Amino acid sequence: MGSALPLGSLPAAELFYWLGVATLTWLSLKAACRLLSGARVFVLGAGVEVGRFGRWAVVTGATDGIGKAYAKELAKHGMSIVLISRSQEKLDQVAKEIKQFQVETKTITVDFGEGAEIYKIIEAGLAGLEIGVLVNNVGISYNYPEYFLDVPDLDNLINKMLNINIMSVCKMTRMILPAMVERSKGIILNVSSASALYPVPLLTLYSATKTFVDFFSQALQAEYKSKGIIVQSVLPFFVATKLSKIRKPTLDKPSPETYVKAALNTVGLQTQTNGYLPHAILGWITTSLLPVSLVIKQSMKMNQGLRARHLKKLKEKGD
């Protein structure tokens, strides 16, 4: 019997055949692992019981959308809630809604776009509280997709978006994490965005800030996991909120309540999560099956369409 031919001596057609088999096998195994992991998290699994990490939960950007939904869902788990946002009227309304769960509420009124001075106010408001969960949710995006240099009032938006989307996450974590480490337990949930999974043209600054949140969260989890701390990066696709300008929930664009209920069940199971099964499937497709260049191209095309429709509406109003 003859010995097997070395790889370098195989005919080109046969070489490409075996490379194809190896690639297909690898992709199939990778897909199977992702599917099994998804089933474990979204079908079979349940996250940690958040209430055992401390009496209070702190939620930034708590008066609308995902932030409000986190506040209510955590209250259902018996946690008292600190609501932080810029509108006292809206804070009072959410606090009133949460009282049905028979938990305490506390409100702190600040505008995260104003910079470092607000954190003295927040720190004073949180003094003495045993904080088990921090939800860094506050964030802003563009009013509509736009080329970077054409964004209205660009210099102001840069400062505001960096303060709200990045500075708030760092400062709130710096404020609350030490006590969690001292007690050897705590949960930090940082709401990023699916736009952090790949660059999104015409939402360039927003996408970049959310990538910071994702990387910051994953690295922080690696640093403090051994201290009993859970840090999770939450990367939703579209959710029916004021920020996304989607009014009617659908299967792939859920209500904030549906999304957060699912996302909270992933805490302790995934460091980086899309939070909701249909979003996890979208995340798998866009990061594992499709080339990044194609995803960027399609994002560009979609946002150019949204931009054109927005500018057309503005022109019609002007006329």
- In angstroms, rounded to a whole number, what is the distance separating the alpha carbons of residues 164 and 213? 11
Residue 18 has pLDDT above 70, yes or no: yes
> What pLDDT, in 10s, does the model give residues 76-126?
999 999 999 999 999 999 999 999 999 999 999 999 999 889 999 999 999
Mean pLDDT score, 49-68: 96
SS3 277: helix
> Would 34 be classed as within a structural domain?
no
224 is an active site residue:
no
pLDDT per position as a tens digit, 180-206: 999 999 999 999 999 999 999 999 999
Asked if residues 70 and 137 have their Cβ atoms less than 8 Å apart, the reply is: yes
Evaluate whether residue 1 is within a structural domain.
no
Confidence of residue 288 (pLDDT cuts 50, 70, 90): confident
Dist CA 279 CA 41 (whole Å): 13
Report the pLDDT value the prediction gives residue 292, as an integer from 0 to 100. Answer: 95
269 falls in which pLDDT band (50, 70, 90)? very high
- Taking phi over 0 as left and psi of -120 to 50 as alpha, with beta for the rest, 130 belongs to beta
User: The whole model's pTM is what?
Assistant: 0.88
CATH number at residue 87: 3.40.50.720
Q: Considering the domain boundaries, does residue 4 fall inside one?
A: no
Residue entry with tokens 């995006």? 141
| DSSP assignment of 168-207 | HHHHHHHHHHHHHHHHT-EEEEEE--GGGSS--TTSHHHH
Task: Select which of 206, 224, 259, 276 is catalytic.
Answer: 206
- Angstrom CA distances, 211 to 76, 199, 223, 235, stand at 30, 9, 18, 10
Mean pLDDT of 211-234: 98
Residue 174's domain comprises 49-304
Give the total number of structural domains in the chain: 1
Domain assignment present for 148? yes
Domain membership of residue 227 (yes or no) is: yes
Residue 245, pLDDT > 90, answer no
DSSP state of 6: P
pLDDT above 70 for 1? no
Query: How are strands ordered across the β-sheet holding 56-60?
Result: 105-109, 80-85, 56-60, 131-136, 186-191, 229-234, 272-273
The model's confidence at residue 289, banded by pLDDT at 50, 70 and 90, is confident
